[in-house]
Chains A and B, each alone.
Chain A
Amino acid sequence: MSLPINTRPLMVLRLATSATQEIGSTPQGTLTIFPVVGGSFEGDRLRGKVLAAGGDWVNTRADGTFTLDLRVTLETDDGSLIHMTFSGLRDDANHYFRTVPRFETAAPKYAFLNRLLAVGIGEIRSDGPVHVIEEVL
């Protein structure tokens, strides 16, 4: 007997990144930093823009897959700030790019974000990465 998993859309996140910073080969793998310089997010319950001063720390592992470690600040259209992080996994050989975002905010209107887990499906498009993020119900 197992319990089901249900999800519902939370937001589509579009990130604008600048030139990568190649840290190179480290004891953990090969580290590349993607600075986040902007972007947008949009969903039924929240929308706004991604502020500069964020980034995604992407590590290439020995098995050829990438692990992601993102942190950004979201600003909603009504002026609330939301700290967002995700870890993720990108496996190009299997066309698999999934993330697990988390949110922190002090804004009462968006406090529901503090209490949920989410899953994102990522895609690299010509104008930058896009993440379709769903709330785990």
Chain B
Amino acid sequence: MNTRLLMVMHVNVAPALNIGAVPYGSRRLAPVSGGTFEGPRLRGTILSGSSADWLLLRSDGVLELDLRCTLRTDDGALILMRSFGLRHGPPEVIAAIGRGETVDPSSYYFRTMPRFETAHPIYSFLNRMIAVASGDRRPEGPIYSIHEVL
């Protein structure tokens, strides 16, 4: 599979809202308080207020991520990004992340599938792209290396 780097995104998250036990698992909502993204073809900031990650801890220990955020490029375009993802790993690694520690991102599985929607002609290539991201959960929020699937 050939890919190329689209952008690196730093997401800042606010304290999570614990929704609790739902029929599918344990649900938390992580509001996105801001962030930045930068790549060869686009860069800008993540808007708070319309961005959050709906997290679901499944009974098999896998965390499902369902992120929606609004991106604003440095030239003013608005882009909707949605990504579904999975995060899991050895219990001690996941526990360390839970304690807010920085761990080696290669020690656990954290991958997402971003999709984009925009009306802006310069960025319409995003509408026609499948992407894959590697995540690195830091105390202040995840860092995603987002790659275009060529």
Question: A3-B145, A102-B84, A117-B86 given. 14 additional CB < 8 A pairs?
Answer: A2-B5, A4-B134, A5-B3, A5-B133, A7-B1, A89-B129, A96-B128, A99-B130, A100-B113, A115-B88, A115-B109, A117-B85, A119-B149, A134-B1
Chain A: interface residue count, which band?
20 to 34
Q: Which residues B109-148 have CB closer than 8 A to chain A?
A: 109, 111-113, 115, 124, 127-130, 132-136, 145, 147
Can you name 16 A-B residue pairings with CB atoms under 8 Å?
A1-B8, A2-B5, A3-B136, A5-B1, A89-B128, A96-B128, A98-B149, A100-B113, A115-B60, A115-B86, A115-B109, A117-B85, A117-B112, A117-B132, A119-B1, A134-B1
Q: Does A44 belong to the interface (CB within 8 Å)?
A: no
- Sort A-B residue pairs by CB-CB distance and give the 9 closest, nearest first: A3-B134, A2-B145, A98-B130, A7-B1, A3-B145, A5-B147, A117-B111, A91-B128, A100-B113
Q: In this assembly, does A25 line the interface, its C-beta being within 8 Å of a C-beta of chain B?
A: no
- Inside 8 A of A116's CB, which chain B residues have their CB? 86, 109
Tell me the residues in window 1-47 of chain A with beta carbons closer than 8 Å to chain B beta carbons: 1-5, 7
Given A2-B8, A114-B62, A119-B1, A94–B128 Cβ distance below 8 Å?
Answer: yes
| Distance from A87 Cβ to chain B, minimum over Cβ atoms (Å) | 8
Contact status A115-B128, CB under 8 Å: no
- The interface bits of chain B over 38-62 (1 if a CB of A lies within 8 angstroms of the residue's CB, else 0) are 0000000000000000000000101
Instruction: Give chain B residues whose Cβ lies under 8 Å from the Cβ of A96.
Output: 128
The distance in angstroms between the C-alpha atoms of A119 and B132, with both chains bound, is 8
